[in-house]
Structures are given as C-alpha cells and as structure tokens.
Structure 1
Amino acid sequence: MTKNALQAQLLKAGLVDSKKAKLLSKQSQHAKRTGDAENIEAKKALAAAQAKKIEKDQQLNQEKQQILEQKMLTANIIQMIKQHQITDTNGEVSYQFVDHSKVKKINITQKLYDQIVAGHVVIARLEENQTLTYALLPRPLADRINAKMEGFMVVSNDKLEVELADDDPYAAYVIPDDLMW
C-alpha cells in the first residue's frame, strides 16, 4: 500500500510502521486537496488582477490614441492654413483686432481690409515653435477648419444681428465695424 519508493524503503528498514506511512500518505493527500483550493483562489485573484491590468492598459492606449489623433488633426489644420493662406497682404492699411484680450495690429491692403470687414476673409492664429503669427484665409476654408477644430479663428466677421436692450438710449445710433479712428 505504499505510494512511492521512499515509503517502501522506510518500511523495509523499519524506520516507519504501516500506520505512520498511511497517516503521512493521508496528510499529503489532504494537503494537496486543500492546497488546490488555495491555488484556485490564488488563480482567481491572479486572473482578476490580470484583467484589471489589461483593462487599464487598454484605457491608457485609448487615451494615447486620442492624443495622437488630436496632434495629427492640429498638424493637418496648420498645414491647411499654410497652404491656403493669402500671401499678398503687405499694405498701408492697419487692421486692429483682439486676440486673447490683447489688441493686435496687422498691415494689409485696402482690398483685404474690405474683405475682412465684409466677412469674406478670416484671420487665423498660427502657433508654431513657440511663435505666434496670423494668417488670412478665405471664408470657406476657415469654415471647414472651424468645423474640424475650434480655436484657430481669431477674427470672423459674420453678419450677426446684435440684440439691443429695450431701454438702450443709443439704440438708434449704429456704429459700423469698419470705423477708422
């Protein structure tokens, strides 16, 4: 009734009797059974930890992918602005506009000035390598860029109706957008 050769040798040598061998055998079987239960719990805990790690990794990869897509979109928009900007802008008429609560001034031709006031040309912010420049873009391109990502358009003179208060004493006096001081 011995399970292995070592037990058989111990019995022959008389170091262990058959009752002691059976007891050791039962204890080892019992340890295996209870050890398996602990192993199952450990395996479940390990599988749960691995599932959490996989889920966390997938979430991090998804965030990295979104950041990469955002960078690619920004690079594409900057490329579109560079390719389609109006290049012949140097002139003697100055146009002043507000960008991030700072008044900026660019010198342009009278034709471009009229187009900006009419809303046919838009001023876009172009930030590259820590330098800030402004580009003049045609209105259709500016609308496409603004639909993809907002934040590039600085001046976009749309024909919007301004709501006036009923008790405004200056309601009859309209100030034009192209007023030169």
Structure 2
Amino acid sequence: MSKSLADQFLKLGLADKKQVQKDKNEKRKNDKVNRKNRVETDDGESKQAVEQARLAKVAKDRQLNLERQQKAQEKSLVAQVKQIIETTRIHLDDGDVKFNFADRFDNKIKSIYVSAQIQVDLARGKLAIATFENRFFVVPQAVAAKIMERSTTSILFLADPQAAQPDDDDPYKDYVIPDDLMW
C-alpha cells in the first residue's frame, strides 16, 4: 500500500505532525469553501432552471385543464341540445305535405313531410326545424331560442315573421306570396 505524501514526509523527518495536521485542516477548509461557493453558484443557476421548468409545467397544465373543461362544456351543451330536442319535438308520424326549406349552413334545399297545420306554423315562424345527428326535428319557436343559446348550428330553419311583412316602399306590397305556396 502506498502511503500518503504527508506520511512519507513524516517518516523521512522532513515534516512534523503539527505541520501535517495544519495542512490537513487548511485543505479541508479550502475544500469546504470551494464546495459552498460552487453549490451556491450551481444552486443559483439550477434554481432558475427549476423555476422556469416549474412555470412551464404550470402553464402547460393550465392550458390542458382549460382544453378539458372546454371539451366537457361542449359535450354538456350537446347533451342538453339532444335532451331538449327529444323531449319537445313535434312528432311527424302522419306528415303528407312536403315542406321545403333552405339549410342555413350548406345552402341546399332540403325537405321534410309534415301535416298541413305544421306547415302553416313553420311558415309563420311559430315552429322551427332543428337537426341532431343528421336528423330533422320540428320544435316550437321558444324551444328553438333555447337551443340557439346552446348551439347555433342545431337550428336549420326558423321563419322570421317580420320578413313576411312587406315594406311600405315596396311596389309589390299588394302582391303577397301565399304561405302555402308549394315549390
């Protein structure tokens, strides 16, 4: 086994125990100071890095929570719309009159078969046509307003009663188009 340099100096008589002990204490103090300074320097930099990572994680978690809440809210609104439509829809079991309407979203003419009274009510704006899962439902106008609060894309057709009234300046105001006109 090799002996330390201090032990070798002691054996040769070049140094005494006091000097060796003094050197060991001095070396230990220097090491301790160096470790303290290095740790403080590293801690300052690492503390900043840790804090930045923590802030980034908090921001990411907050964003994910907002997205989850938004998806849950959308899902809830869709469920509410479905429930409202299914509980308040008017059944069209024996519809024999074809009612054509313009879809607000894809600008296509679509049609459903309804009874004569429902056709009149649709034309006057008392009833509306709602959609859910690619099916059409006839609902009352008040219900359509509730549905539109939750989802504007669920109401396809709602006649405006004021739009049927001709303007005073209209030269064709005397020529009224009947509500039951089939096209």
Q: Given the two structures, how large is their TM-score scaled by the length of structure 1?
A: 0.77
- How far off is 1:103 after superposition? 1.5
Contact 1:125 1:153 in 2 (8 A): yes
What is the aligned partner in structure 2 of residue 133 from structure 1?
135
Structure 2 gap segments, 5+ residues each: 12-18
What is the aligned partner in structure 1 of residue 117 from structure 2?
111
- How far off is 1:93 after superposition? 0.8
- CA distance in 2 between counterparts of 1:173 and 1:83 reads 40
What is the aligned partner in structure 2 of residue 159 from structure 1?
161
- C-alpha RMSD of matched pairs (Å): 2.8
- CA distance in 2 between counterparts of 1:171 and 1:30 reads 98
- CA distance in 1 between counterparts of 2:156 and 2:180 reads 17
What is the aligned partner in structure 1 of residue 37 from structure 2?
34
- Match 2:95 to one of 81, 91, 95: 91
- Match 2:129 to one of 105, 118, 123: 123
- How far off is 1:144 after superposition? 1.2
* Matched length: 167
The reply to whether residue 65 of structure 1 matches residue 69 of structure 2 is yes
Partner secondary structure for residue 153 of structure 2:
coil
Q: Given the two structures, how large is their TM-score scaled by the length of structure 2?
A: 0.77
Specify the structure having the higher radius of gyration (Cα). Answer: 2
- CA distance in 2 between counterparts of 1:179 and 1:62 reads 50
Q: Which has the higher contact order (CA 8 A, sep 6+)?
A: 2
What is the aligned partner in structure 1 of residue 15 from structure 2?
none
Partner secondary structure for residue 17 of structure 1:
helix
- How far off is 1:177 after superposition? 4.7
What is the aligned partner in structure 1 of residue 20 from structure 2?
17
- CA distance in 1 between counterparts of 2:5 and 2:55 reads 48
Contact 1:89 1:112 in 2 (8 A): no
Moved more, 135-144 or 153-162: 153-162
Instruction: Looking at secondary structure, tell me which structure has more helix per residue.
Output: 2
- CA distance in 2 between counterparts of 1:17 and 1:158 reads 103
Contact 2:92 2:113 in 1 (8 A): no
- CA distance in 1 between counterparts of 2:117 and 2:174 reads 30
What is the aligned partner in structure 2 of residue 3 from structure 1?
none
Partner secondary structure for residue 82 of structure 2:
helix
Letter of the 1:115 counterpart: D
Q: Percent identity?
A: 30
Partner secondary structure for residue 100 of structure 2:
strand
- CA distance in 2 between counterparts of 1:136 and 1:46 reads 59
Letter of the 2:50 counterpart: L
Partner secondary structure for residue 152 of structure 2:
coil
- How far off is 1:86 after superposition? 0.6
- How far off is 1:25 after superposition? 1.8
| Aligned CA distance change for structure 1 residues 89 and 113 (closer, same or farther; 3 Å) | farther
- CA distance in 2 between counterparts of 1:173 and 1:88 reads 32
